[in-house]
Amino acid sequence: MRSVDSLFVLALGASVCAGGFSAQGQTVGDPAAGKALAGQCRTCHGLDGFAKIPIAPHIGGEPAAYISAQLTAFRGGTRTHEMMTVVAKTLTDQQIADLAAWYSGHKAIADLASNPDDAPELCSGCHGADGIGLAEDVPNLAGETSIYIDTQLKAFRLGKRTHEVMSVVAAEMTDDEIRAAADWYAAIKLTIESQ
């Protein structure tokens, strides 16, 4: 596996790209409009982003840039899923920005019962020991189900989902390592506070 340091360099490169994108003028989202649109999302993600079904991730309190990027990826076909591909297909840039403003406006609070020193070392530098992402482009993992985390890591490993950093991280993980990391983050209690 590559060292954590070289992954940080990769992550830095990735966030510089993201910054360049926003400098070209990112659409500004309106949380109230996003809340109205979230009626289409609530059966799976909840109105506040606390998921209602095990295969759907919690999205409340995720960074707006991350939510927008994922919806754009589903819409464009670079990330695919039978449900989300259909949901995202008709969203406009404005609606994506509005939904991102709504869901990111909540606060994700993690309650880690275990010793943080036992957190998976290769992951905690970016995702936190408690599963709260430490940078704008890093999603929270706290309280996501094992099945969701497992599915995403295997998708990165297979190349079904791609990302400069995560494809490299997942490529060298065994099934057991994937399971251990998924279990660590799934065991953390997540609360989403509406703002």
Q: How far is the CB of 192 from ligand HEC (least distance, A)?
A: 13
Largest CA distance in the chain: 44
Q: How far is the CB of 133 from ligand HEC (least distance, A)?
A: 8
The Cα–Cα gap between 74 and 160 comes to: 12
Q: How far is the CB of 136 from ligand HEC (least distance, A)?
A: 9
Q: Which is nearer to ligand HEC, 72 or 191 (CB)?
A: 72
Q: Is 156 exposed, middle or buried (0-12, 13-18, 19+ CB in 10 A)?
A: buried
Q: Which is nearer to ligand HEC, 146 or 191 (CB)?
A: 146
Instruction: Let me know: does 150 contact 182? Beta carbons within 8 Å.
Output: yes
Q: How far is the CB of 14 from ligand HEC (least distance, A)?
A: 6
Tell me the two tokens of residue 112.
Answer: 């880690």
* Coil, helix or strand at residue 125: helix
Q: Which is nearer to ligand HEC, 44 or 109 (CB)?
A: 44
Q: How far is the CB of 167 from ligand HEC (least distance, A)?
A: 9
Applying CB under 6 A, the residues found at the interface with ligand HEC are 7-8, 11, 37, 40-41, 43-45, 55-57, 59, 67, 69-71, 81, 83-84, 87, 99, 120, 122-123, 125-127, 137-139, 141, 149, 151-153, 163, 165-166, 169, 181
Instruction: Let me know: does 136 contact 68? Beta carbons within 8 Å.
Output: no
Q: Which is nearer to ligand HEC, 130 or 137 (CB)?
A: 137
Q: Which is nearer to ligand HEC, 183 or 193 (CB)?
A: 183
Contacts of 140 (CB under 8 A, 6+ apart): 58, 61, 62, 108, 110, 127, 128, 131, 132, 133, 190
